Structure 1
Amino acid sequence: MFSFVIKRLLGLIPTLLLVAVLVFLFVHLLPGDPARLAAGPEADDKTVALVRADLGLDKPLPEQFVNFFLNAARGDFGHSIRTKRPVSEEISARFWPTLWLTVVAMVWAVLFGLIIGISSAVWRNQWPDRLGMTLAVSGISFPAFSLGILLVQVFSVKLGWLPTVGDDTWLHYILPSITLGAAVAAVMARFTRSSFIEILQEDFVRTARAKGLTETVVVIKHCLRNALIPVVTMMGLQFGFLLGGSILVEVVFNWPGMGRLLVDAVEMRDYPVIQAEILLFSLEFIFINLVVDVLYAVINPSIRFK
């Protein structure tokens, strides 16, 4: 297991290098001149040229990339064009609100997804199954931004029960986390149902029932662990997608997180912030996949990595 983890960590280097090249090229293909935006609409060409030289944008692209990559390897992503603050400070200030929102959304989505999925599998083709799959299809079909606007209109504007802006109290997390986690709960429910239906048809389940074990013991003790292997894979992927998908939700609720920061950076052509955030999202995806692979052995000890 230790050698497996080390190999996966070493595999981060070429992956992140490839991502850095692609991100750098795509960012510099964006229309607009960040030097012009930083200098202001009233600045003359001479001032814009000075700003461009100060930002290092007057150098050839290969030289800019080498400087960016060498600095990033040391943890230095430069300074934000928009605020002049270090990019690391900009991201660290926005990282925790996004992480906590993602964790809250993931917790309730996994909990409800597992409950609905297991219930639908146990009572297959009965009313719990039909109700659960109807909710799952609705959650997948409803766009996140539309759901967020609807929740704001009902629970904030009409009823006045919940706040919509900021992250000051736990009440601020309710609407954004529901909006962010609805699709994940739906996917988890459908995936758990499919996995459990396959497990319930296995020979060891029939043997457990033949021994006189109750259905609750059969489902929880014998089926749950075996069904969790594919479910954990889906959980890891969905957690990564939640981190990236929080952009639209943060815009709708004006959440002070990384998604909101990325939108502002794109509008201002803030190259250092855009590059650093996308690299961070990529690193999070790779790390989550590594954690999922390690969890396989924890859930099912018969799995061994060589």
Structure 2
Amino acid sequence: MLNFIAKRLLGLLPTLFIVAVLVFFFVHMLPGDPARLAAGAEADEATVALVRADLGLDKPLPQQLVGFFGKVVHFDFGMSTRSKRPVSTEIAERFMPTLWLTLASMVWAVIFGMTIGIVSAVWRNRWPDRLGMTLAVSGISFPAFALGMLLMEIFSVKLGWLPIVDDGTWKGYVLPSITLGAAVAAVMARFTRASFVEVLGEDFVRTARAKGVHEPMVIVKHCLRNAMIPVVTMMGLQFGFLLGGSIVVEKVFNWPGLGRLLVDAVEMRDYPVIQAEVLLFSLEFIVINLIVDVLYAIINPTIRFK
């Protein structure tokens, strides 16, 4: 297991290198002049040229690429062209709000999604199954921005129970986390149902029932662990998507996280921030996939990595 983890960690380097090269050329293909945006609409060409030289955008592209990697190996992602602050500081300030929002969304999505999936599998083709799958399809189909605005209209504007934007308390997490986790809960319910339906038909389940084991024990003790492998895989992928893909929700709720920072960076063509955030999201996905692989061995001891 340790050798497997070490090899996967070493595999980070070429993956991140490829991602860094791709994102570098991608951001330089974006339409718009970062120097003009940084200098302002009223600036003359001489001022824009000075800003371009200050940002290092007047150099040939290969030279900019070499300079970019020279800084990255020293964990220096440069200065934000928008705020004139270190990129690492910008990201550090926005990381925790996004992480806490993602964790809150994932916790309730896993609880409700797995519960609906298990109930639907146990009572499949009956009304609990139909109701659960109807909710799941609705959660997947309803756009996040529309759900967020609907929740704000009901619980903030009409009822006044919850704040529209973050107020520093737990109430500020309720609406964004529900909006962000709705689709995850729906996908979780469908994956859990499919996995449980397959496991419920296995021979060891019929044997346990034939021995007189109570149905709740059959579900919890015999089925849950064996059905968790595909569910855990999906959980890891969804957590990565939430951590790096909460852009719409953060924009709707004016959440001070990485998603909104990325939107602002793209609008202002803030190359250093865009590059650093994409690298961070790539690293998050790789680490999460590694954690999922390790969880396989914990859930099912018969799985071993060589």
Taking structure 2 as the reference length, the TM-score comes to 0.99
* Alignment-derived partner of residue 147 in structure 2: 147
* Alignment-derived partner of residue 257 in structure 2: 257
Aligned partners of 1:117 and 1:188 also within 8 Å: yes
* Alignment-derived partner of residue 32 in structure 1: 32
* SS of residue paired to 1:109: helix
1:107 aligned partner, one-letter code: V
The yes-or-no answer on 1:240 pairing with 2:243 is: no
The yes-or-no answer on 1:20 pairing with 2:33 is: no
Equivalent-residue separation in structure 2 for 1:68 and 1:150 (angstroms): 43
CA deviation profile, 1:3-54 (whole Å, cap 9, x unmatched): 0001001111111111111101110011111111111112111111111111
Structure 2: runs of 5 or more not aligned = none
When structure 1 is superposed on structure 2, of 60-69 and 173-182 the one drifting more is 60-69
2:159 aligned partner, one-letter code: L
Paired residues, what number?
A: 306
* Alignment-derived partner of residue 4 in structure 1: 4
* Alignment-derived partner of residue 106 in structure 2: 106
The yes-or-no answer on 1:272 pairing with 2:272 is: yes
When structure 1 is superposed on structure 2, of 134-143 and 34-43 the one drifting more is 34-43
* SS of residue paired to 1:301: coil
* Alignment-derived partner of residue 211 in structure 1: 211
Equivalent-residue separation in structure 1 for 2:70 and 2:100 (angstroms): 31
CA deviation profile, 1:243-293 (whole Å, cap 9, x unmatched): 122100000000000011111111111000011001101110111000000
Using the TM superposition, give the Cα deviation of residue 66 of structure 1 relative to its aligned residue in structure 2, in angstroms: 1.2
Equivalent-residue separation in structure 2 for 1:299 and 1:74 (angstroms): 38
Structure 1 stretches of at least 4 aligned residues deviating more than 6 Å after TM superposition: none
Using the TM superposition, give the Cα deviation of residue 166 of structure 1 relative to its aligned residue in structure 2, in angstroms: 2.0
Equivalent-residue separation in structure 1 for 2:70 and 2:184 (angstroms): 37
* Alignment-derived partner of residue 156 in structure 1: 156
Equivalent-residue separation in structure 1 for 2:213 and 2:30 (angstroms): 63
CA deviation profile, 1:222-255 (whole Å, cap 9, x unmatched): 0000000110000000001111221000000000
Using the TM superposition, give the Cα deviation of residue 167 of structure 1 relative to its aligned residue in structure 2, in angstroms: 4.9
Q: CA RMSD in A?
A: 0.7
1:53 aligned partner, one-letter code: A
Using the TM superposition, give the Cα deviation of residue 159 of structure 1 relative to its aligned residue in structure 2, in angstroms: 1.0
The yes-or-no answer on 1:132 pairing with 2:164 is: no
Aligned partners of 1:139 and 1:185 also within 8 Å: yes
* Alignment-derived partner of residue 90 in structure 2: 90
2:276 aligned partner, one-letter code: A
Equivalent-residue separation in structure 2 for 1:186 and 1:208 (angstroms): 30
* SS of residue paired to 1:125: coil
Equivalent-residue separation in structure 1 for 2:106 and 2:265 (angstroms): 26
CA deviation profile, 1:205-231 (whole Å, cap 9, x unmatched): 000001100000000000000000110
Using the TM superposition, give the Cα deviation of residue 186 of structure 1 relative to its aligned residue in structure 2, in angstroms: 0.2
The yes-or-no answer on 1:68 pairing with 2:86 is: no
Equivalent-residue separation in structure 2 for 1:209 and 1:23 (angstroms): 55
* Alignment-derived partner of residue 185 in structure 1: 185
Aligned partners of 1:98 and 1:257 also within 8 Å: yes
2:246 aligned partner, one-letter code: S
Aligned partners of 1:87 and 1:276 also within 8 Å: yes
* SS of residue paired to 1:166: coil
Aligned partners of 1:233 and 1:292 also within 8 Å: yes
* SS of residue paired to 2:138: helix
* Alignment-derived partner of residue 296 in structure 2: 296
* SS of residue paired to 1:67: helix
* SS of residue paired to 1:160: coil
Equivalent-residue separation in structure 1 for 2:122 and 2:70 (angstroms): 55
CA deviation profile, 1:154-212 (whole Å, cap 9, x unmatched): 11111111001125110000000000000000000000000000000000000000110
CA deviation profile, 1:66-115 (whole Å, cap 9, x unmatched): 11112112110000001100000000000000000000000000110110
* SS of residue paired to 1:229: helix
Structure 1: runs of 5 or more not aligned = none
Aligned partners of 1:180 and 1:245 also within 8 Å: no
State percent identity of aligned pairs: 78
Aligned partners of 1:139 and 1:182 also within 8 Å: yes
CA deviation profile, 1:50-69 (whole Å, cap 9, x unmatched): 11111110111111111111
